[in-house]
Amino acid sequence: NQCLNSSSCLPSILAFMAAQSSLAQLPQIPPITDPKFIEDCVKIHNELRAIVNPTAGNMKYMTWDASLAKTARAWSKKCVFKHNVHIGKRHACHPLFKTVGENLWMGILTKYVVRNATTDWFNEVKYFEMSDNTCSRVCGHYTQVVWASTYKVGCALKMCPNLGKHVVMFVCNYSPDCKPFIILNGLMAPSPTRPPHHTLRCNHSLVIPKRLVFLCCLLFLISYQITITALTSERYH
């Protein structure tokens, strides 16, 4: 399983055994407008975002986006375990956002499906090496869940009998999307310009505002100029 880029990472596959015991109380598939479903999706994402290590300096709080949920629903209806072919095309998946990210999950329907799927994505953190920003397997779902500037999410659940008994697809779309990875020598590597934790690591106490530096230089030059002008006019007049 190789990731070609952040939005076309191969989805993670769940072990089907885990859910057998809870099949007796198989829940209903909620529509994307269901308040409990929306709350579940948003809550687990924010819970996982809150536990990134090291702590985030400027991570945004994630909220629901109905348009993203519609995109997720439209794609989930196809019941194919592949990424939305329109992801990556600008302005193709959302009326306002240029680009959209996507995480896919397939597994057995349980009442914990939203929580378990999102946690599976987050658990890719174990393949992610903080010290040199590299990924040993697949990390694109993790980075999309915790990407600091992503603040909109919309998800959909769909029963997919063609994929197996009680099998569901869980699709989440995100905006703005994360783009942490580039391909180096055929291997996945985080982009040097935007490493996944760049924003998470930000140490505000080290940041000197550029405007302040510019203003100081400007003031110095002006007072220097005034002094020179004063001295020369004294000498010649």
Ligand X SMILES: *[C@@H]1O[C@H](CO)[C@@H](O)[C@H](O)[C@H]1NC(C)=O
The answer to whether 115 contacts ligand X (rule: CB under 6 A) is yes
Task: Return d(Cα 53, Cα 119) in angstroms, integer.
Answer: 15
Using CB positions, name the residue nearest to ligand X. Answer: 112
Torsion 73-75-77-79 (CA) sign = negative
Segment contacting ligand X (CB under 6 A): 147-155, 158-166, 198-206, 216-224?
198-206
Rounded least distance, CB 9 to ligand X, Å: 20
Task: Return d(Cα 153, Cα 143) in angstroms, integer.
Answer: 14
Question: Which CB, 114 or 139, lies closer to ligand X?
Answer: 114
- Identity of the residue numbered 164: G
Q: At what angle do helices 35-50 and 113-122 cross, to 10 degrees?
A: 30
Task: Return d(Cα 40, Cα 154) in angstroms, integer.
Answer: 11
Task: Return d(Cα 11, Cα 171) in angstroms, integer.
Answer: 10
Rounded least distance, CB 112 to ligand X, Å: 4
- Identity of the residue numbered 80: V
- Identity of the residue numbered 8: S
The region, left, alpha or beta by phi > 0 then psi within -120 to 50, assigned to residue 185 is left
Question: Which CB, 47 or 129, lies closer to ligand X?
Answer: 47
* Interaction mask 65-104, ligand X, x per CB under 6 A: ----------------------------------------
Rounded least distance, CB 169 to ligand X, Å: 17
Give CA separation, 193 vs 140, 143, 202, in Å. 16, 15, 14
- Identity of the residue numbered 234: E
Contact assessment for residue 139 and residue 191, using Cβ atoms and an 8 Å cutoff: no
Rounded least distance, CB 5 to ligand X, Å: 27
Site for ligand X in 13-42 (CB under 6 A): 18
The answer to whether 12 contacts ligand X (rule: CB under 6 A) is no
Question: Which CB, 8 or 22, lies closer to ligand X?
Answer: 22
Rounded least distance, CB 200 to ligand X, Å: 11
The answer to whether 206 contacts ligand X (rule: CB under 6 A) is yes
Backbone dihedral angles phi then psi of residue 173, each to the nearest 5 degrees: -110, 150
Which tokens sit at 143? 């980075």
**Residue choice 90, 205, 209, 210 for contact with ligand X (CB under 6 A):** 205
Segment contacting ligand X (CB under 6 A): 21-29, 136-144, 156-164, 202-210?
202-210
Count residues binding ligand X (CB under 6 A): 7
Question: Which CB, 81 or 112, lies closer to ligand X?
Answer: 112
Residues contributing to the site for ligand X (CB under 6 A): 18, 112, 115-116, 203, 205-206
